[in-house]
Structure 1
């Protein structure tokens, strides 16, 4: 089935037109619709992406073979919905904008869940690394403040307040160092847990799909 699409604006301003186009003029002129459909499916786009292709090519008065596009898109969906892609999507926190075919969905979904478990473990490590960085910055800040505090240049009346401030900085620095030790321990535990999850997840993947992810 072929039809002509009227040109429509897809962006708020012409300046952004090229960035918003689903296909280039050259792709429209080449007319390799199965390849375009397959590529869009492999990028996770839904079948409704076709309408944007029709609009973009219509802007150049070029017809789209929608049947050929959808044939390629369906092939792309089947190529997308593999256990390996499911695992990668789970680890990356992604999901395609379509549902996998019924015969492929169970394997894709199970692999995605395994990848999601590893992502959660990676995220916990990242959170603890951030905590450790924050603790180090606080120690550096307090150390600099303590080093810059010179009570010898104060008047007799000011020295009492200055010494109290120094004592407070030392207490806060001691607490910050304790917090950093705690952050180091938490990071070690998070990494240990991440390594254990990695071994468990990859073993489960290998048992299910007879290959390591």
Structure 2
């Protein structure tokens, strides 16, 4: 089951990595599979218009009904708590394509993931600042009056870093 979800998400990422469909994809006309990949990627109903535009130059029109059926089959792969958490953890917003009855659980999982992401950004900023302080310390003579303040700042940043890393571990997975 998990392998199938990963495979569908991978297919969705491959299809979504291009702004348009290729001529071969348009001519093959596997609109249900294209729709399923788009659904698994959380694409909205208007996304088929982009396919229509891409395929128009090859004289091909999408089978909208097949695409919509595929999209509906793919949406359950997007509208999962695991995916919502994963998107949040990557700093990516959830698209508003999931059923209303699932929104509360998805929103909670996404927020949990976003907290992990936000803490990671804060950690990166502190690590960068801490390395700047260390670099500054390396340029000063030991008896320079600024050394004490920089050492204090370095220690303070280290404590903050430890605290944020501990907090981030709380968000490293979602129940």
- Residues 38, 75 of structure 1: 8 Å contact kept: yes
Match for 2:99 among 90, 98, 101?
101
Q: 1:182 aligns with which of 122, 136, 156?
A: 156
Where in structure 1 do 4 or more consecutive aligned residues deviate above 3 Å? Answer: none
Structure 1 portions without partners, runs of 5+: 1-18, 148-166, 207-213
Measured after TM superposition, the shift of residue 65 of structure 1 is: 0.4
Larger Rg: 1
Instruction: Name the counterpart of 2:22.
Output: 24
Equivalent-residue separation in structure 2 for 1:21 and 1:175 (angstroms): 52
CA RMSD after TM alignment: 2.3
| TM-score for both structures, normalised by structure 1 | 0.66
Q: Which residue of 2 aligns with 1:64?
A: 62
| Counterpart for residue 8 of structure 2 | none
Q: Give the stretch that moved more between structures: 97-106 or 179-188.
A: 97-106
Name the SS of the counterpart of 1:64 in structure 2. Answer: coil
The two structures have a TM-score, normalised by structure 2, of 0.79
1:114 paired residue number? 112
CA distance in 2, matches of 1:45, 1:37: 9
The count of aligned residue pairs is: 159
Question: Is the Cα contact below 8 Å between 1:44 and 1:95 reproduced in 2?
Answer: no
Q: Is 1:128–1:190's contact at 8 Å kept on the other side of the alignment?
A: no
Q: Are the counterparts in 2 of residues 93 and 119 from structure 1 also a CA contact under 8 Å?
A: yes
- How far apart, CA to CA, are the structure 1 residues paired with 2:131 and 2:73? 47
CA distance in 2, matches of 1:21, 1:194: 35
Q: Which moved more, 1:95-104 or 1:81-90?
A: 95-104
> What SS does the aligned partner of 1:138 have?
helix
Counterpart Cα distance in 1 of 2:98 and 2:76: 7
> SS state of the match for residue 45, structure 1?
coil
